[in-house]
Amino acid sequence: MFDDETAIFCQLQVGSRYRMVPQTRKQHHEDAMKTLFAATAAMITLAVPAFAEGDIAKGEKTFKKCKACHMIATPDGETIVKGGRTGPNLYGVVGRAAASTDFKYSKAMKAVGEGGLVWDEEQLMMFVANPRGYLKEMGTDGKTKMTFKLSKGGPDVAAYLATFSPAPDVEEEAAVEGEVESTEVEETATEETTVSE
């Protein structure tokens, strides 16, 4: 077979033309790995959603505009930010499916939610900047109860709201731990019953 020093001819682009260039197998493999690495890095960069991180402190200040219609309250009833009830409670909105809480949403918002939209910071930023336009871009008629447009501070408000959203991993871990604990309790109870019989 060929060793690493055996010359092979590779087709390389030189300017606007392709030429057959002699290379050792080692050079060829190194060039191929560089190309593969560069292509992979480019694909990863393009796959990661690009959005500016918001300032949580500025978001808290900007959220005062939102309080006229929205509140932030935990599922157990603790009010974190007292606000209006014209709009839905925004506790846990980041990471939650659109139109999935106990609120009377518009048909357009329900359609987007049924279509699988899960709110993340980027989607929230786009929505609060132009709610009707956003819903139209999502393929609905654009009718929404939210008429307010937040022209500045969207990334900040999204970052602020994200602080009130439990991390999905934590919720999943808690659910799994709860299942494991209940299984362990059941197994212990079964063992005790078996021993006492």
**Do 149 and 128 touch, CB atoms closer than 8 A?**
yes
Model confidence, pTM: 0.59
More confident residue, 189 or 69: 69
Total domains present in the chain:
2
Please tell me the predicted confidence (pLDDT) of residue 52: 45
32-54 mean pLDDT: 57
Q: Are residues 88 and 149 in the same domain?
A: yes
The reply to whether 179 falls in a domain is no
Using CA atoms, how far apart are residues 139 and 65, in angstroms rounded to an integer? 28
Residue 22, pLDDT score = 67
- Does residue 100 sit in the same domain as residue 166? yes
- On whether both 31 and 97 belong to a single domain, the answer is no
pLDDT band at 100 (very low <50, low <70, confident <90, very high): very high
pLDDT for position 174: 52
Q: Which of 83, 62, 87, 79 is nearest to 71 (CA)?
A: 83
pLDDT tens-place string over residues 124-163:
999 999 999 999 999 999 999 898 999 899 999 999 999 9
Residue 65 and residue 11 share a domain:
no
Residues 69 and 154 in one domain: yes
d(CA 50, CA 29): 33
Task: For helices 121-129 and 154-162, give the axis angle rounded to 10 degrees.
Answer: 140
**Mean pLDDT throughout 65-92?**
92
Q: 43 and 104: one domain?
A: no
**More confidently predicted of 132 and 45:** 132
Owning domain of residue 24 = 7-47
The overall average pLDDT reported for the chain is 77
Alpha helix stretches (DSSP H) within 74-167: 107-114, 121-129, 131-137, 154-162
Q: Are residues 66 and 151 in the same domain?
A: yes
Query: What is the pLDDT at residue 165?
Result: 86
Measured between alpha carbons, how far apart are the two ends of the chain, in Å?
73
For the CA atoms of 176, 182, 188, 190, the dihedral, rounded to the nearest 10 degrees, stands at -120
Q: Are residues 67 and 156 in the same domain?
A: yes
What integer is the mean pLDDT of 78-104? Answer: 92
Same domain, 35 and 132: no
Residue 166 in any domain: the answer is: yes
Helices then strands, each counted (H, E), the chain? 7, 4
Residue among 87, 60, 71 at smallest CA distance from 148: 87
Q: Is residue 190 part of a domain?
A: no
Among 59-63, 152-156, 171-175, name the one with the lowest average pLDDT: 171-175
**∠ CA 79-110-48 to the nearest 5 degrees?**
80
Alpha helices in 48-89 (DSSP H): 56-62
- Kindly state the DSSP code that residue 55 receives in the 8-state scheme: P
The pLDDT score that the predictor gives to residue 196 is: 45
Domain CATH code at residue 155? 1.10.760.10
One domain, residues 60 and 145:
yes
Is pLDDT of 79 > 80?
yes
Same domain, 27 and 122: no
Residue 89 has pLDDT above 90, yes or no: yes
Rg (CA), the chain: 27
